[in-house]
Structure 1
Amino acid sequence: MSDGIRTIDTAFQRDHFDACYLIVHAGRGAFIDCGTNHSLPRLLGALELEGLTPAQVDYVLVTHAHLDHAGGAGQLMRHLPKATLVAHPRAAPHLIDPTRLVAGATAVYGQEEIARSYGTVMPVPAERVQIAHGDEHVVDLAGRALLCLDTPGHARHHYCVWDAHSACWFTGDTFGLSYRELDTAQGPFILPTGSPVQFEPQAMKQSIARMLARGPQGMFLTHYDRVGRNLQQVGKLANDLYEQIDAMVEIGERCSGAQGRHACLVERLRALYLGRARLHGVTLEDARILELLGMDIELNAQGLACWLDRPAR
């Protein structure tokens, strides 16, 4: 544990795929994201490892309402008697009443997968929800300021959390994803993560630029763990993301009028990420790389399709 930050593997889907974080400061705790209902034993176990009781947790900050980040929030809050949940104004209603959230996820993944991966998504009582109003809402964790910055791109109900104490961001999905299996001597391999309905390429680039403006020394990703140990490394990762966002836009435009548009998007995204992985020095077989990135390629294809169909783009 460094800077009072513990990475917790939520065990969602596979090991080292989905993380949440526990920040401990002056005997008080805050979780950033919380995984699913199935993650609860790991979160409570992390408290025990740090010598904290559930009553010493003051906040649960959810970067956005997608179920791999916040699906377990309602169940977790039942175990944290003094905690307040902090949510983006657009996310809060879906955490208080998750009916539409679950319905949307079910439309993407299917009812059987929702039951298997998430369990029953529980509501968070409205009186225990603090809305992160404004662009720079600050949460005070025993004197340690956690700033919530509105960061659309992956979703319009997304904020990232700046921790000045560690000079690091907790980025949810705005700063992409990076799996440790794809690390090489060149460092982490990173790619953007879109989402059905609300992927917005330009907004994502603007959000990344706003995070860089604070000179971060590292980025704590949900998928997965910390990347970057200084501003130079973080800046390189940001440039990698910019290049790929632009490449994704080009792919979307090339496939926009194609018959079998979805298949076109998936095929070209596979080629994009395989090509960049090889340039990055990844030596895994193509099939293994595509296995690791398969879900993300599918979601990015769906995100691009939604962006292409949005009249205002």
Structure 2
Amino acid sequence: MNELISYPDGIRALESGYGRPQLAAIHIVVDEGRAAIVDTGSNDSVPRVLSALAMLGIEPGNVEWVMLTHIHLDHAGGAGSLMCALPKARLLVHPRGLRHMIDPSKLWEGTAAVYGAERAYQLYGRLVPVPPERIVPATDGLELRMGKRLFRVFDTPGHARHHICIWDDSAHAFFTGDTFGLSYRELDVDGRVFVLPTTTPTQFDPEAMHESIDRMLSMQPQAMYLTHYGRVTDVPRLGADLHRLIDAMVAVARAARGDEVARHVEILAGLEQVIREEAGRQGWALDEEQTLELLRMDLELNAQGLGIWLDSQRVAEPQPA
């Protein structure tokens, strides 16, 4: 059975089925009998989306937009398959991601390099291309209307250079993909939510992430809708936590010594210590062992991303004459 969470302003969060429960959400926005879908999950998520639309009384032909915050496959892996089932929908994607939706071969190669080809196929299946005439480049400031609803595109690099966040003027809220961090529902304490930055491969840029977060905060949003996972409020507090934790994670990376495996192990150990300190600060519901187990895969990916960022900084440094 699909889990469909109802939020204010005609917004629903659908459990994508990716990984464990409450890991990845697909958001469905309904206005005057029309719908927009924000992020798609993987190919396995497509039947869930179609079932949810039926539950909401929305015909596939009344879905106007499929909006991708970015093209990492837990957000966009099912886009091609879903577009096949939505005959009138247009796909909104960052200009840097457009060619990868038309021809996803390079996108697949990059994902297989991170997860391994066998695991990547288990997670995402075969990627389906999208006809170019159905794609709209998500340029910064682009405004889209659906019924009485206005969406606006914000270019928000930091997690990836092909990342956008989508402002919903009716809800006075953003759909944030991964730019406003990840919120693990298992760590909630009496309804108080928390967020952690994601520094995963291969385009993490801390300065750009700080700027993107501040740009969103300047809109004074009432809520953020995170792909991982769902609606969060108390936005100024969460934004401050993100800024602080981005700096802490970068400090861990800068302090690491050695190369390759040795450096990676040191960064990973440093990230685990950041999490221990944050657990003490926030009073999370899980104990230390449970928390580290919950975050294990993300900490591994974050350590990889920080290592790649460190290497990029070294390449960019001016060489002595």
> TM exceeds 0.5?
yes
> Corresponding residue for 1:5?
11
Structure 1 counterpart SS, 2:85: coil
Where do residues 63-74 of structure 1 align in structure 2 (5 Å cutoff)?
A: 63-74=69-80
Structure 2 counterpart SS, 1:34: coil
Aligned AA (2:221): P
The yes-or-no answer on 1:95 pairing with 2:101 is yes
> Corresponding residue for 1:77?
83
What TM-score do you get using the length of structure 2 for normalisation? 0.94
Shift of 1:279: 1.6
Q: 2-side partners of 1:257 and 1:55: how far apart? A: 56
Provide, for residues 121-149 of structure 1, a one-character-per-residue CA deviation record: whole Å limited to 9, x for no partner.
Answer: 1111111101112x211121123111110
Provide, for residues 13-33 of structure 1, a one-character-per-residue CA deviation record: whole Å limited to 9, x for no partner.
Answer: 110000110000011000000
Q: 2-side partners of 1:87 and 1:146: how far apart? A: 14
The yes-or-no answer on 1:17 pairing with 2:23 is yes
Where do residues 264-283 of structure 1 align in structure 2 (5 Å cutoff)?
A: 264-283=266-285
The yes-or-no answer on 1:212 pairing with 2:217 is yes
Structure 2 counterpart SS, 1:90: helix
Equivalent pairs, count: 308
> Corresponding residue for 1:183?
188
The yes-or-no answer on 1:193 pairing with 2:192 is no
Q: Relative to structure 2, which stretch is displaced further, 76-85 or 181-190?
A: 181-190
Q: Identity rate of aligned residues, in percent?
A: 48
> Corresponding residue for 1:45?
51
**Unaligned runs of at least 5 residues, structure 1:** none
8 Å contact kept, 1:186–1:281? no
> Corresponding residue for 1:241?
242
Q: 2-side partners of 1:168 and 1:270: how far apart? A: 32
The 4+ residue runs of structure 1 with deviation greater than 2 A are 256-259
Q: 2-side partners of 1:301 and 1:224: how far apart? A: 21
Q: 2-side partners of 1:99 and 1:47: how far apart? A: 30
> Corresponding residue for 2:3?
none
Q: 2-side partners of 1:71 and 1:256: how far apart? A: 36
| 1:256/1:94 CA distance change after superposition, 3 Å | farther
**Unaligned runs of at least 5 residues, structure 2:** 1-5
Structure 1 counterpart SS, 2:142: strand
8 Å contact kept, 1:102–1:121? yes
Aligned AA (2:281): L
Structure 2 counterpart SS, 1:192: coil
Q: 2-side partners of 1:148 and 1:281: how far apart? A: 36
Q: 2-side partners of 1:186 and 1:125: how far apart? A: 43
Aligned AA (1:295): M
Shift of 1:291: 1.5
Shift of 1:257: 4.2
Aligned AA (1:61): M
8 Å contact kept, 1:28–1:141? yes
> Corresponding residue for 1:60?
66
The yes-or-no answer on 1:126 pairing with 2:144 is no
Aligned AA (2:264): H
8 Å contact kept, 1:174–1:208? yes
Structure 2 counterpart SS, 1:136: coil
8 Å contact kept, 2:186–2:285? no
Q: 1-side partners of 2:287 and 2:118: how far apart? A: 31
| 1:127/1:27 CA distance change after superposition, 3 Å | same
Provide, for residues 149-206 of structure 1, a one-character-per-residue CA deviation record: whole Å limited to 9, x for no partner.
Answer: 0000000000000001011110000000011100114811211011212000010000
Q: 1-side partners of 2:257 and 2:198: how far apart? A: 19
> Corresponding residue for 1:290?
292
Aligned AA (1:105): T
Q: Relative to structure 2, which stretch is displaced further, 183-192 or 111-120?
A: 183-192
